[in-house]
Structure 1
Amino acid sequence: MILLGFDVEEFDMPFEYGKSISFDEQLEISTKGTNIILNLLKERGIKATFFCTANYAIHKPEVIKRMVAEGHEIASHGYYHSDFKAEHLRQSKLALEDISGTEVTGFRMARMMPVDEAEIAKAGYEYNSSINPTWLPGRYNNFDKPRSWFYDHDVLQIPASVSPVVRFPLFWLSFHNLPLSLLKKMASATHKKDGYLNLYFHPWEFTDLHDKDKFGFPGYVSKNSGEAFARRIGNFIDWATDNCYTFRRTDAFCSSVKNKNKPEPVLR
């Protein structure tokens, strides 16, 4: 079982590299990438989860409605991508439910940053996918967290997938930089260990990010972006399908887990 998640946000990442980009262009780039993803998923009959900021949804409700019409799940990515307050958890949930006309049960914190699990539960979410259970300099230090699903404050935690033993992250940057053959081997080993994969990407990765003067991105971010990235993800989906892996929305995975016992978390 493979869970594909896409973090749909105002494209503010150039700010991290000292660049400025207008809000209208942030929306334009994210929307272009989102439509490429939706087309790719529709061609292959795959359903996924879109973790959206309320700020993006408010400005692009037609994109949210397309996601829903094509059978995808809407989950929360906060209210804004670069600003967070605890009250945004509930506010973003309500805003997304109003725009999408669907129940929003899942959350992912912007940039996979730490978030108070008690506040997640208080806001009414059933699952949280905000943990990358690995170590990356200046970003994550989560070796003390379980690498597969567990419960915290009665909220299902669904960490991003990492390989067994060494916890190599199978996340968006890996899909830009590693050979697909190696990614497939690691994905197989991780799926065999955990019974599922939880993979996440961003719409802007499906657009051309090579303009360093405009975006300021290092090569490991812009490599294989745009059409090349769409081909790589399409290739991975086709490989997974050929090898009898199934794809599910994250809320469906959450429901299947809830029907089982809730074991104590085990660090693996």
Structure 2
Amino acid sequence: MILLGFDVEEFDMPLEYGKSLPFDEQLAISTSGTIKVLDVLKAAGIKATFFCTANYAIHKPDIIRAIVEKGHEIASHGYYHSDFKPKHLKQSKLKLEEISGTPVTGFRMARMMPVDEAEIEKAGYAYNSSLNPTWLPGRYNNFDKPRTWFYDHNVLQIPASVSPLIRIPLFWLSFHNLPMPLIKWLCGDAYKKDGYLNLYFHPWEFTDLSDKDKLGLPGYVTKNSGEPFINRLKDFIGWAQAKGYTFGRTGDFADGINGR
């Protein structure tokens, strides 16, 4: 099974590069991308998981309800994208459940940063997908962590997929910068080895990010953004379906492992 996860958040990445983007515009860019993603998933007939910040959901409840109505899963991406306190774990879960009208059983930490697993368990999550088991300069070095699912504090950990052996990350930046034939080969290798893939993206990647004066984003982020990225996702989904791979929601995958 292929697990597609989309981190729906206030688009605050330009702030990391010294740019000021009004909050309404942060929401608008993420919303535009989310609508595009929903269209792609509908056309392909597949379901996915949307890891949302409570802050986004509070301001865009109609989008959260649209995600649910289309059969996708809502999971937590924290309360705010750039502010975290342990109490936000439970608070975001409750707020997202209130807005979506569905149980929220999964969590992903913003920017895949470390999070106290005891607090994850305490907040009542069944699974956590906050680990990228590779090395990303300036972010993290997780070469010593398991590549595939495991348990920590009674919470199922579902790391982002990486290739076997040298652990090339199979995440959003790879889909922007690597040739699609190489991505497919690496994903096929990991799928054969692990029996599943856990891939994550952000809806704002599916919008045009080329305005460097306004957004300040580096080329390795903006490359193939917007329509080219939509086409890349469509191409990947088509390739996977032709291979006979199935797609599913992360929570359903976790339930299967947890025996629910």
TM-score bracket relative to the smaller structure: over 0.9
Residue identity in the other structure for 1:138: G
Residues 1:28 and 2:28 aligned together:
yes
Which string of whole-angstrom CA distances, capped at 9 and with x for unpartnered residues, describes residues 154-204 of structure 1?
000000000000000000000000000000000000001110000000010
**Aligned residues, how many?**
260
Aligned residue in 2 for 1:224: 224
Aligned residue in 2 for 1:88: 88
- Measured in 2, the distance between the counterparts of 1:39 and 1:135 equals 33
Residues 1:156 and 2:156 aligned together:
yes
- Measured in 1, the distance between the counterparts of 2:37 and 2:22 equals 23
Trace 1:33-48 onto structure 2 (pairs within 5 A): 33-48=33-48
Q: How big is the shift at 1:259? A: 2.2
Aligned residue in 2 for 1:120: 120
Displacement over 2 Å in runs of 4+: none
Instruction: Indicate the larger mover: 211-220 or 150-159.
Output: 211-220
3-state SS of paired residue (1:32):
helix
Unaligned runs of 5+ in 1: 261-268
3-state SS of paired residue (2:248):
coil
Residue identity in the other structure for 1:62: D
Trace 1:49-64 onto structure 2 (pairs within 5 A): 49-64=49-64
The alignment's C-alpha RMSD in Å is 0.7
- Measured in 2, the distance between the counterparts of 1:78 and 1:153 equals 19
3-state SS of paired residue (1:5):
strand
Residue identity in the other structure for 1:177: N
Trace 1:122-141 onto structure 2 (pairs within 5 A): 122-141=122-141
3-state SS of paired residue (1:245):
coil
Q: How big is the shift at 1:218? A: 1.1
- Measured in 2, the distance between the counterparts of 1:171 and 1:16 equals 20
- Measured in 1, the distance between the counterparts of 2:59 and 2:164 equals 40
- Measured in 2, the distance between the counterparts of 1:14 and 1:168 equals 26
Residues 1:103 and 2:103 aligned together:
yes
Q: How big is the shift at 1:144? A: 1.0
Residue identity in the other structure for 2:177: N
Give percent identity, aligned residues only.
Answer: 74
Unaligned runs of 5+ in 2: none
TM-score (norm 2): 0.99
Q: How big is the shift at 1:233? A: 0.4
- Measured in 2, the distance between the counterparts of 1:240 and 1:46 equals 12
Residue identity in the other structure for 1:172: W
Aligned residue in 1 for 2:77: 77
